[in-house]
């Protein structure tokens, strides 16, 4: 009798373990598929921007990803990310890519703030905690102009604290990256300024 109960418990534990492993594998595979789509989208945007430069056409091309307008591209070489920036922040858009949270246009004077999920698997903004002062972030706008920014500050805030969207130094180009940290309890803020 005891052996039968022991075997049933082992089978149940094995099934639970199998389900947990399957869920983790599904999420990882799903993120990898999404990552490949994003890489292709960035490549398409770069081709369109190059075509605009070569044609000397002043008209900005509106590029879309999954039906949402793209306002630029963010590239962070140190943590190996390059994503299109979606023009609005919502649960749906944040599940797709990096999103514009606050500010005018990419590479305008002032602070352009972006939000991105922390998926803990190296995608989106999950590795922004590895950025240090003086690390490089590149932003490409829809005119094809790329500006290099240098990280000058990194700190943790309460989720309701939105003071980080303000410019630190007037009349400069600044960017702010925001992502969750410590579960959803806090936000990691990384601030960078145009490298002049």
User: What integer pLDDT is reported at residue 41 of this predicted model?
Assistant: 76
List, for the chain, all residue ranges whose pLDDT scores fall below the cut of 50. none
User: What integer pLDDT is reported at residue 157 of this predicted model?
Assistant: 95
User: What integer pLDDT is reported at residue 53 of this predicted model?
Assistant: 63
User: What integer pLDDT is reported at residue 33 of this predicted model?
Assistant: 79
User: What integer pLDDT is reported at residue 114 of this predicted model?
Assistant: 97
* CA–CA separation, 132 and 154 (whole Å): 8
All structural domains of the chain with their residue ranges: 2-194
User: What integer pLDDT is reported at residue 26 of this predicted model?
Assistant: 85
Secondary structure letter of residue 167 according to DSSP:
-
* CA–CA separation, 46 and 49 (whole Å): 5
Q: What is the DSSP string of 104-137?
A: SSTT-SEEEEEE--B-SSSSBTTTGGG--TT-EE
User: What integer pLDDT is reported at residue 29 of this predicted model?
Assistant: 81
Question: Considering only the top CATH level, what class is 2-194?
Answer: mainly beta
User: What integer pLDDT is reported at residue 28 of this predicted model?
Assistant: 80
């Amino acid at each position: 009798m005891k052996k039968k109960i022991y075997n049933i418990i082992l089978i149940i534990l094995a099934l639970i373990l199998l389900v947990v492993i399957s869920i983790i594998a599904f999420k990882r595979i799903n993120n990898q598929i999404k990552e490949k789509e994003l890489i292709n989208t960035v490549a398409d945007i770069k081709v369109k921007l190059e075509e605009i430069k070569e044609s000397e056409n002043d008209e900005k091309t509106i590029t879309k990803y999954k039906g949402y307008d793209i306002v630029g591209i963010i590239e962070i070489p140190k943590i190996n990310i390059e994503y299109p920036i979606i023009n609005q922040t919502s649960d749906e858009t944040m599940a797709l890519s990096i999103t514009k949270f606050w500010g005018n246009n990419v590479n305008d004077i002032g602070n352009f703030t972006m939000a991105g999920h922390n998926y803990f698997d190296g995608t989106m903004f999950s590795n922004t905690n590895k950025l240090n002062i003086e690390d490089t972030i590149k932003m490409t706008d829809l005119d094809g102009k790329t500006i290099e920014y240098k990280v000058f500050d990194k700190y943790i805030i309460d989720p309701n604290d939105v003071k980080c969207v303000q410019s630190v130094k007037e009349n400069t180009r600044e960017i702010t990256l925001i992502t969750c940290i410590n579960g959803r309890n806090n936000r990691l803020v990384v601030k960078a300024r145009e490298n002049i």
